[in-house]
Amino acid sequence: MASTITEKIIAAHAGQETVRPGQLVEVDVDLALANDITAPLAIEVFRSAGVEKVYAPDRICLVPDHFVPNKDILSAIQVQTTRNFAREQGIDKFFDLDEMGVEHALLPEAGLVLPGDLVIGADSHTCTYGALGAFATGMGSTDLAGIYLTGKTWLRVPETMKFVYKGTPEPYVGGKDLILMTIGDVGVDGARYRAMEFTGPVIDRMSMDQRLTMCNMAIEAGAKNGIIGPDRITRTYADERAGRPYRVFASDPDAGYVSVREYDVTGLEPQVARPHLPENVVGVSQLKDVTIDQVVIGSCTNGRLEDLEVAARILKNRRIKKGMRLIVIPATRKIYAQAMANGWLETFLSAGAVVSTPTCGPCLGGYMGILAPGERSLATTNRNFVGRMGHPTSEVYLASPAVAAASALAGRIVGPMDV
Amino acid sequence: MKFNGRAFVFGDDIDTDAIIPARYLNTTDPAALAAHAMEDADPAFAQKVKAGDVIVAGKNFGCGSSREHAPVAIRAAGVGVVAAKSFARIFYRNAFNTGLILVECPEAGTGFADEEAVEVDLSAGTVTNQTTGKVYAFEPIPAFMLELASDGGLIPHLMKKRAASSR
Ligand code: SF4
């Protein structure tokens, strides 16, 4: 029976020939991920069951990234709880400061997620890994504790929506713009409970960094997972990192989709999501004289090497607008080190930016750049809900690193061609 | 199973940052979370809400992050059931896993004013506005989710299954 890649991966992990959308299945989980906010709760729930040992320590991954280096005593205790649990249970995939990174940048980089895997994370942006041709979705801490106990979880097989991108993107228009445009089109619940499969010639030519950005924001349309069928680019990326064999799945040409949308991206200008929902998307030229106080370049959406490269290119030998605050956060230590070797950190500092060690920090309004009442930020992150980066009266605009860098120079929201 | 209380009305796309802002996520203590439940949507909510009250809302309630602190905060604030036009996926799982009941009722969000008397009847599949007398029907909760909820959440459910299979 013809199936989509999402259905095939789920079927393979459910021990079934095929599965159909709507079906409830029990699946084996290859990797269960949690962070410093969700792990302590999962651990607490696991302990409440009175079972001594987790089902499979080698399939558990713990990444403190939201509030590290710890911002206060309570968050230090959260990481301590997580660290102690990792030691006690023999969980090797625990990433302390010496190996740190924002989880969804770190796991693909470290080769911990590979094509064909089924990954469950107690973090909504777990859907990022779909870029590798894996099935990856977010759940809560109790679901994770269930996996700690049994190695399995239950899933409702999602219907798949197919998205086809054609045409030739303008310079500085990439994955972030495509996914913002798509969310603007379908809305924040337009893909609720569904799989979003990204395809077409534009995707075929797209780098892994940008594919990860696109799948990262599938959740912002309410989707269960985002996914891109593995090709040569995926295999090259995976082969450089894989420490084990992996399986490549592909959608059948006659697979059943609940909908198919085609976009011609030729002429698309850089996209910006206005407050307070990621679906409030407009072309950057429609935003006239929106002044901003702070720009953040980083996060699991856009804190990768290519993102920093674009920002560095635009900021090179220039100075951000007086009074502007620019915060740059490489998403992992590797990215940080590479950016340093390439001279980009120097570029950022000379431009007037501060450069932080990897952390989620301001992305979720945690620390490191919280907004005061009425302040306005432009960020390369993924959510702009009320109060997301600070005070409930502050505002967040979402855009690509190119728009972010340009806007930091101009002091208001502008496209990269306007500076 | 019936729930009786006052309705607290919210609109569409109420996200988990509004339900429990990240600035309070450095703890897992339900009481500490409850003190800030719904804070960025209605700062006075935690003061007003009483045990048995019901949240009614529009579409896509609970969108955003996977933080289980969101349903935990709502439930610890005294709310046993949320009736909304639709729910975000992760929130839906998290709620049933932690004992907060959700019903998908298309008219719930528009059929109430704040603090009107409400009754949610799970067996009858109705949300009643006892102030206006209007009755709104909802799709029955899937059997699997009800089983989860009646076992007391996911972990007691799994332990029950585990005990059954080792017998
Ligand atoms: S960077 Fe932001 S969106 Fe990504 S995991 Fe961290 S808090 Fe979540």
A258 and A233 in a common domain: yes
Find, among A161, A165, A154, the residue nearest to A222 by Cα: A161
pLDDT at residue B166 is higher than 80: no
Domain co-membership, A253 together with A277: no
- Choosing from A262, A296, A329, the residue where a domain stops is A262
Give the Cα separation of B122 and B102 in Å (integer).
10
Supply the pLDDT for residue B45: 97
Residue in B18, B27, B155 nearest the CB of A145: B155
B42, two tokens: 């209605």
**What mean pLDDT comes out for the span A355-364?**
97
Cα distance between residue B25 and residue A339, in whole Å: 31
Q: What CATH code is carried by the domain that includes residue A398?
A: 3.30.499.10
A315 pLDDT higher than 90? yes
Give the Cα separation of A285 and B31 in Å (integer).
Answer: 47
Q: How confident is the model at residue B163 (pLDDT cuts 50, 70, 90)?
A: confident
In a shared domain, residues A293 and A315: yes
- Tell me, yes or no, whether A279 and A253 share the same domain: no
Q: Work out the burial of residue B46: count CB atoms within 10 Å of its CB; fewer than 13 is exposed, 13-18 middle, 19 or more buried.
A: middle
Q: Tokens 């159909």 map to which residue? A: A20
Per the CB < 8 A criterion, the answer to whether A218 and A163 are in contact is: no
**Interface predicted TM-score of the whole assembly (ipTM), two decimals:** 0.90
A298 and A219: one domain?
Answer: no
**pLDDT for residue A330 is more than 90:** yes
When mean pLDDT is compared across A87-96, A268-277, A373-382, B21-30, the lowest value belongs to B21-30
The domain boundary, picked from A239, A262, A285, lies at: A262
Together in a domain, A341 and A199? no
Tell me if A141 is assigned to some domain: yes
CB contact residues (below 8 A), chain A span 346-405, against chain B: 364-366, 383, 385-388, 392
Domain containing A357: what range? 272-413
- A146–B94 CB contact, under 8 Å: no
Report chain B residues whose CB lies below 8 A from the CB of A154.
144
Q: Give the three-class secondary structure for A11.
A: helix
CA distance B6 to A325: 45
**What CATH number is attached to the domain comprising B134?**
3.20.19.10
Q: Cα of A79 to ligand 1 centre, how many Å?
A: 16
Strands A24-28, A152-156: pairing is: antiparallel
Q: What is the pTM of this model?
A: 0.95
> Which structure tokens are listed for B7?
């309705």
Chain B residues with CB inside 8 Å of A122's CB? 66, 68
Nearest to B60 among A150, A189, A392 (CB): A189
Provide the number of structural domains found in chain B.
1
Query: For A289, how many CA atoms within 13 A lie in the half-sphere containing its CB?
Result: 0
**Nearest chain A Cα distance for residue B23, angstroms:** 6
> Between helices A401-410 and A305-315, what is the axis angle to 10°?
30
Pair of tokens at residue A117: 């895997």
Rounded to a whole number of angstroms, the distance from the CA of A344 to the nearest CA of chain B is 31
Same domain, A251 and A363: no
Closest residue to atom 5 of ligand 1, CA basis: A300
| Residue A104 distance to chain B (closest CA, Å) | 14
Residues 6+ apart with CB under 8 A from A374: A391, A393, A394
Ligand 1, atom 2: nearest CA belongs to which residue? Answer: A363
Residue A223 shares a structural domain with residue A297: no
According to DSSP, residue A80 is labeled H
Contact B22 A24 (CB under 8 A): no
Helix H, strand E, coil C: the string for chain B is CEEEEEEEECCCCCEHHHHCCHHHCCCCCHHHHHCCCCCCCCCCHHHHCCCCCEEEECCCECECCCCCHHHHHHHHCCCCEEEECCECHHHHHHHHHCCCEEEECCCCCCCCCCCCEEEEECCCCEEEECCCCCEEECCCCCHHHHHHHHHCCHHHHHHHHHHHHHC
Specify the number of domains making up chain A.
2
Task: Name the pLDDT band for B167 (thresholds 50, 70, 90).
Answer: low
Question: Both A168 and A224 in a single domain?
Answer: yes
Instruction: Say if the Cβ atoms of A387 and B18 lie within 8 Å.
Output: yes
Q: Which range of residues forms the domain containing residue B133?
A: 2-165
Q: So what's the pLDDT on residue B109?
A: 82
Do A108 and A174 share a domain, yes or no? yes
Q: Return the residue whose CA atom lies nearest to atom 6 of ligand 1.
A: A360
Phi then psi dihedrals of residue A307, to 5 deg: -65, -45
Residues A190 and A303 reside in one and the same domain: no
Residue A419 counted as domain residue: no
Tokens 């007037």 -> residue: A352
B55 C-beta neighbours (distance < 10 Å), count: 30
Mutate to test the pocket of ligand 1, among A296, A382, A385 (most ligand atoms within 8 A of CB): A382
The string of pLDDT tens digits covering residues A158-190 is: 999 999 999 999 999 999 999 999 999 999 999
**Gap between the Cα atoms of B51 and B76, Å rounded:** 9
Q: Between chains, do A75 and B64 touch, taking CB under 8 Å as contact? A: no
Residues A248 and A278 in one domain: no
CA distance A228 to A251: 10
Please tell me the predicted confidence (pLDDT) of residue B75.
Answer: 94
A418 domain residue, yes or no: no
pLDDT at A311: 98
Candidates A103, A217, A364, A370: which one to mutate for ligand 1, based on the most atoms within 8 Å of Cβ? Answer: A364
Confirm or reject: Cβ of A136 under 6 Å from ligand 1.
no
Nearest by CB to residue B89, choosing from A40, A150, A192, is A192
Report the percent of chain B where pLDDT is more than 90: 78
pLDDT tens for residues B64-86? 999 999 999 999 999 989 999 99
Choose among B17, B23, B66: nearest Cβ to A139: B66
User: Quick check: CB of A388 below 6 Å from ligand 1?
Assistant: no
pLDDT of residue B165: 82
**Residue pLDDT, tens place only, A187-223:** 999 999 999 999 999 999 999 999 999 999 999 999 9
Over residues A61-80, the mean pLDDT reads: 97
